[in-house]
Homo-oligomer: A and B are copies of this chain.
Amino acid sequence: MPLVTLATRAIHDKGASGIGHTLTDPLFEQAVTRTLVLALTVAVICLLLGTLYALALVTAKGPVKALLWGALLVSFWISLLVRTYGWVLLLQPNGVLDKTLRGLGVIHDSLNALQTTPAMYPGMVHIMLPYMVLPIYTSLAALDPSQLRAARSMGAPPLLTFRKVILPQLRPGAIAGAILVFVLSLGFFVTPAFLGGPSKLTVGTIIEREFNSVYDFGAASVMSLALVFVVLAIYLVADRLFRVGEHWTAG
């Protein structure tokens, strides 16, 4: 329903040439590139961290395991906003990070981290991490522990076991998680808008600006639709390549 409305609005307000114009706007193109790079980077970082986290989850015992689960679930539940603010407070000029680094004598001027692109990554990664950890964890939990025992009994050193036995079986979960994070990051404007500041625009923030300041519904609609189609296209391609859907509906 909302999609149909969006489409109607886009065509009605702009017409074909208007749509073309909106999509070739250099500001928009630049934003698309930035969004893709951002989403991809976040996905890759999440992939690495998520795999480590999931491995830690599986191998940890007792209270450590409970703590790791707790952190993951709480992080899932505490609203996006609160977490975003937490990061903002950490990174803002004269924030905790600045003060600490200056206190340690590492830097002298303020980092001014909040208004730069690198600032986007920690926040995004933090928010997206659970979406990566859970599918990888599912893959890991499905891995038969007797396979690890088998590998040990056959004299395999831990690294060989990890490389040849564990990693290949994590792949479906890792791919699903990476795509999910990538796709979510693509349309995810909240954190970048706060952390990246207005000078670093992503598609999400541009759409918001168009909508809020200019009230140019047509342009906002076109961009939203473009975003939806990009996301769907990526998903369909990924599904073809890796059978992600299977993994998700089965899990």
A interface with B by C-beta (< 8 Å): 1-3, 5-6, 8-9, 69, 73-74, 77-83, 85-90, 95-96, 126, 180, 183-184, 186-190, 204, 207-208, 211, 217, 220-221, 224, 227-228, 231-232, 235, 245, 248-249
Contact = CB atoms under 8 A, between A and B. Distances in A.
Contacts of A249: 69
A155 to B, nearest CB: 34
B77 A231 contact: yes
Contacts of A79: 184, 186-189, 204, 227, 231
B1 A207 contact: no
A232 B74 contact: yes
Given A73-B248, A85-B207, A89-B5, A231 B183 contact: no
Nearest to A220: B85
Contacts of A248: 73
Nearest to A234: B77
Contacts of A189: 79, 81
Contacts of A227: 79, 82
Contacts of A2: 82-83, 85-87, 89-90, 126
A86 B3 contact: yes
Contacts of A184: 77, 79
A1 to B, nearest CB: 7
Given A211-B85, A249-B69, A78 B5 contact: no
A99 B239 CA distance: 39
Contacts of A90: 1-2, 5
Contacts of A95: 5
5 contacts: A2-B89, A5-B89, A5-B96, A69-B249, A89-B221
Contacts of A228: 78, 82
Given A2-B85, A248-B73, A78 B217 contact: no
A212 to B, nearest CB: 9
Given A78-B228, A186-B79, A248-B73, A85 B6 contact: yes
The 3 closest A-B pairs by CB, nearest first: A2-B86, A79-B187, A5-B89
